[in-house]
Structure 1
């Protein structure tokens, strides 16, 4: 009972922050839901809560929904979400998550930039957003939602550039994403990823999401536009750091990524191991720099042997002999 109460309380807070920041509730709730349901049930339980949150936000801010944005965004988002789910079954998304993390962290300068004056209903340049641009953003959001599960925080800048008021951002973002959440739930149900315990966890998260939306309806009008956007930028950068750490750790484990460093009185050596590749740099005692690439022999164990393995190429940079290469 204590765990379910904790899930409800944390979910209420997480979805309240998500309404302001543009996303991130999943990053907060996934570890906690993992204590209540099996790992395979966590995405389904979270999707139930996220879908309920979007529906509640649409109901709470229905007059603020920009349907002109939704009708160009949603039609391309749905098919590309299915394409993203198909791509997920064919490839590992961890490297894409790493790139997305770098993209999100790239928003750091926005934390120190003054928010320009925005005209309601128009972009930062005062122009009306083009239909093709909205459709392209919808396709990108749909694909990434199906492939990585990340949508909200990645596209914060898209909503800011449209010049929408904070209520319009919350409502329009929910209207754009509701179909994606419902599609995910249908797929989870078809694949048997929803059982009684997962539904119970999803119901607790959904109840908290609805309560959070009702609270945000009263709080949001008192939140300054500049603070609203600043919170969104902070959340974006924080999510980027979290994605970099998570993706980096997963890559290091699955691809055997490792750094080695050794120093002697007259010699310095460092190497980077990735999968079967070993990239090394050595400073020799006769002022010669050696850059090498080799293919690791897994039969020798995880650590590269002292001598260069087979299939090695060494590039020598010497003040006496110049630039030359050797193959071993």
Structure 2
């Protein structure tokens, strides 16, 4: 219950912020959802909540929806979302979340850039790219559950006003999220906990959406964009932190440093691999790659076993490469 209360508070704040920035609530809420649900159920919960948010925003700003943008965006977004969901069934989305987080952090230089006096005018040539943007957004949305502010720059380049961005994004997103919810259910990615979490996000979205119409028109367009970029940076930090934690846990990544009187070693473990660099007596350097056979894979395939590959560089003995299998002892493969 405490988790649901925290989710409601964070989601309400996130959707209120997204109301004045053109999106991004899903990316802000995603880290907290990752603590309440399995990673592959987070996109479904996000889609349930954001579908309700999009419906409420369409109702509020229906008259300013740019339907020509919707007609170019949605047809490619739907099949691309299906491809993203199929990929979600095969891989954990942590690495994609990390890349998206880093991409969102690139908004920080845009926030610090001096304001230009001339605004962005509408360019009809930008609409040529809308099917591709829709495909990219649909794929990422199917895989992670949210796209948020990632493609807001393209809406700006089309010359849309802030009300038009909110309304047109809502029209694009509602069809996409409804389509995804159906697919998530068909692929078994929605359970009772996912529905409850999605409903909490949906209630928070409704609570914040109805206040949007009262204050959105008071916000200057330049401030609207700056708030959007700030929200993107906040979402990027949260996504990098959550994805980094998930990657460290699921891939068993460990960094460590050892030193003695004669040697200094820096090593990193990743899954079944270990890479180390050792400096001995300031005259010798050894690079070692170790494959550590652990878990079910080794039981199913007895031919897989521990193995070390060593590159040794010495001022006195030259350079040599060796391969060592613990069960067989050491064997020199090449020497230079």
- Establish whether TM, by shorter chain, passes 0.5: yes
CA contact (8 A) 1:256 1:275 kept: yes
Structure 2 gaps of 5+ residues are 296-304, 325-336
Look up the match of 1:186: 182
Query: Deviation of residue 323 (structure 1)?
Result: 4.5
- Contact 1:77 1:143 (C-alpha < 8 Å) held by counterparts: yes
- Counterpart CA distance in 2 for 1:275 and 1:194 is 30
How far residue 181 of structure 1 moved from its aligned partner, in angstroms, is: 1.3
Shift of 1:155: 1.7
Number of aligned residues? 312
1:11, 1:29 within 8 Å by CA — same for their partners in 2?
no
- Do residues 15 (structure 1) and 12 (structure 2) align? no
Structure 1, unaligned runs of 5 or more:
300-308
1:264 equivalenced with 2:264 (yes/no):
no
Residue aligning to 2:169: 173
Paired residue secondary structure (1:121):
coil
2:103 aligns to what? 103
Task: Give the conservation status (yes or no) of the 8 Å contact 2:122–2:157.
Answer: no
Q: CA deviation at 1:140?
A: 0.6
1:26-175 alignment runs, 5 A limit: 27-28=28-29, 31=32, 44=44, 46-116=46-116, 117-122=118-123, 128-131=125-128, 133-175=129-171
Matched, 1:234 2:235: no
Q: Which residue of 1 aligns with 2:273?
A: 277
Cα distance in structure 1, aligned partners of 2:92 and 2:33: 25
SS in structure 2 at match of 1:278: strand
2:313 aligns with 317
Residue 321 of structure 1: how far off its partner (Å): 5.1
Q: Find the partner of 1:255 among 251, 255, 260.
A: 251
- Aligned match of 1:243: 239
Q: Is the 8 A contact 1:30 1:46 kept in 2?
A: no
Query: Which whole-Å deviations, capped at 9, do the CAs of 1:34-54 have from their partners, x for residues lacking one?
Result: 77x999976555433311211
The structure-2 alpha-carbon separation of the partners of 1:150 and 1:320, relative to structure 1 and needing over 3 Å to count, comes to: farther
What is the CA–CA distance in structure 2 between the aligned matches of 1:43 and 1:318, rounded to whole Å?
A: 52
1:305 aligned partner: none
Between stretches 150-159 and 170-179, larger displacement belongs to 150-159
For the 8 Å contact 2:149–2:232, the answer to whether it is kept is: yes
| TM-superposed deviation, 1:283 | 0.8
Deviations 1:93-136 (A, max 9, x none): 222222222222233221211344333433xxxx53142x1101
CA 1:158–1:322: 2 relative to 1, 3 Å: farther
Deviations 1:69-110 (A, max 9, x none): 111100000111111111111223222222222222233221
Q: CA deviation at 1:178?
A: 0.8
Q: What secondary structure, in the 3-state scheme, does the structure 1 residue paired with 2:307 have? A: coil
Q: Find the aligned partners of 2:30 and 2:292 in 1 and give their Cα distance.
A: 40
